[in-house]
Structure 1
Amino acid sequence: MTEVPTGDANRDSAPPPPAFIQRYPGAPPEPNPALQQAPGSPYAQTAPYPAPPYAQTAPPYAQTAPYPPPPYAQTAQYPGGPMQDPYPQPYAAAPDSRPKTLATVALATALAGVVAVFVPIISVVAGLILLAAIVLGIVALASRRQGGKGFGVAAIVVAVVGGMTAWILSTVVFGLFGLADAWRDDAVVPSPLPSSETYVPPVDAEPTDGSDGMRGTIDSPYGYGELVPIWNAATGDPVWEISVGTPVDLTGELAAEDLFNPTPETGVYSAVPVTLTYIGDGTIDPWRDYEWVVETSWVTLGGAPLEEEYLLLPDGYLSALDLATMGPGQTVTFHSVVDAPLDAVGGVRTAIGFDYELYWAAPQ
């Protein structure tokens, strides 16, 4: 008879349950809960298997330090002021807080100098104004306490350009006046005597016409065109022969000569020709020999003086300012101009030296 094994025998011969189980292929081993929960089981006292690595390792994000706060979050904020960027951009330069007074003054001075160049009355000081602007501009550029370097450079440039403009204008203007005077002198004025000639001025000049006051007065004038000799009363030496011609109307010639000649207020420019012939010895200068300088003025029919006009005369006409040194026998004619009609001119007064006077007029 065959024996059937009993349950105990089967239990004794059965293999012990595994200490660890794997719930699914590839899963980490886990302690067998059946062994741990069975009372009296030797496996219940066995130390559990070390926890798998993932159970002992904290997640990476839990152990990693948080990102540092942005720079602007760490920047202190001034009381009442906005948050400032601690890392300014390289192209955001701080504004120049230095004063620009000196550079501004230099530029204003340079502009004033340029304006002065074109103003006839103050053009003579334009160069000094422009020089001052250049100096101020250089000081503004060299000073570390002054800003506005652009203004300083502009002041120097404007002053230099203005100075060059002034020099060019003055050269052209004076050149034109000199050329006009040269043409006029070559055409009419007697040639100066050679430098070897010795200048012999008259001595103890006392002009006289020899009439002893009987002629040449305002009540008894010489007639236009009459030739009158003048002597040195102290020595008896002859000096001048003077003739005053009839006044002529030069209004049209003066208007055509130059645009700078103003229009006559009375509508007519009257001119009187005065002819001088030197009849003495040596030479005479109509401007340096004060005792013999011949000056003319005009009077009305009532004897009131008329003011002489100083204008640019047409070619072929001289003013008293154009007279040059004269030698024996040389003759020159100059014109004196007045703003008055011909019929309003009563006569011409000729002053010789300091106080000797002669009058010319048309017969009444």
Structure 2
Amino acid sequence: ASFLGTLVGTLALLIFVWVLLLISKNIASPEKALLALFGILLSGTLMSEDLAIKGWIAGLIGLALAMVGMDPILSETRYTFGWSYLLSGIAVVPVLMGAFAIPQIIEGMRHMDTGRVATLTGRILPNMTAVRRFLPTIGRSGVIGTGVGALPGVGEDVAGWVSYGVGKTVSAEGDKFGKGSLEGLLSSETANNACIGGALIPLLVLGIPGSPPAAALMGAFKINNVIPGPTIDPDIILRVVAIMVLASFTMFVMGLFTARVFIRILRIPQTLFLPLVMILTTIGSFSVGGGLNDLYLMLGVGLVAYLMNLMCYPIAPLVIGVILGGMFDETFRRSLLLSDGDLSVFVSRPGSAILLILILALILGQLPVAKRAMNRLKGRSA
């Protein structure tokens, strides 16, 4: 199902990316600024465990970090405090490593699970009868995952949960979801893989990653002087599609032949496994080229992310804010410069007006009054 989900997302990438490339030629600075802001706020809303404002705060922290370095409009230094390392801005790769790896390592070391022994029984090869039976579920989940992935800054976790929720609602055996249901497993696992291709659509066309892994890929693009956006070379898009297809087949084969091997890897004590992960994380940050300064940045972001986790603040919006902050800063200020400071530029264009309405609806929809109204409407419909 993961293999088929990846193919669905890749097919959508191959089809829709060309359509969006034609549309993107009409997207100016006001639309880009509001689209970046919408991505940050949407990521914060969907990633928050309790209050959406926590996700927004995390996204705005990332947005503030993106302001460090050279001003893209006036070429003046901002918030560097005389540290030459910050002239080029906050490096994305150390932020990614620190935000996602360090908190997990600390949490894993704090709560050692010494009694867990992973086992795998039964056949590995897929049951084709079951595959044919659940093809409608796989197809529906693939479409849902692709659609969620195309939303800026959302990601695979949200795609899996949305598909799982839809599957539980429409399935005749929805009451078995969460109790070992194979259909429930397929709903989430298909969607989170289909989300990969969907998340690449806004990345390649608009330079806006659809998920945290897509944000990491954007960092890799920039390291190799490839700038995603409307001016991207079409050959690069075709290469990405080819890589996705090859990767999906490789994942399928490796999954069949190495499942039992990886189960044995899970038996490695965490006291050995987590320090090894820390070493690999350090090498990844150091290899960017910033030397020890990248390691300091990684550790600093990692400690902040760990504290945010303790207070139930989502980490993904912070990373999305760092990624999209530069585009928001440049396009927002360029819009104001071209309009002589007139804010009506964000409502005079149809595209920017629609995005502004979506942003306002997203914010107002989180107010207690709006939530109570929605609950009353759901109660009446039920």
TM-score of the alignment, normalized to the shorter chain, above 0.5: no
- Larger % of helix: which? 2
Which of the pair has the greater relative contact order for Cα pairs under 8 Å at 6+ separation?
2
Q: TM-score, structure 2 length as denominator?
A: 0.18
Q: Which has the higher strand share?
A: 1
TM-score by length of 1: 0.18
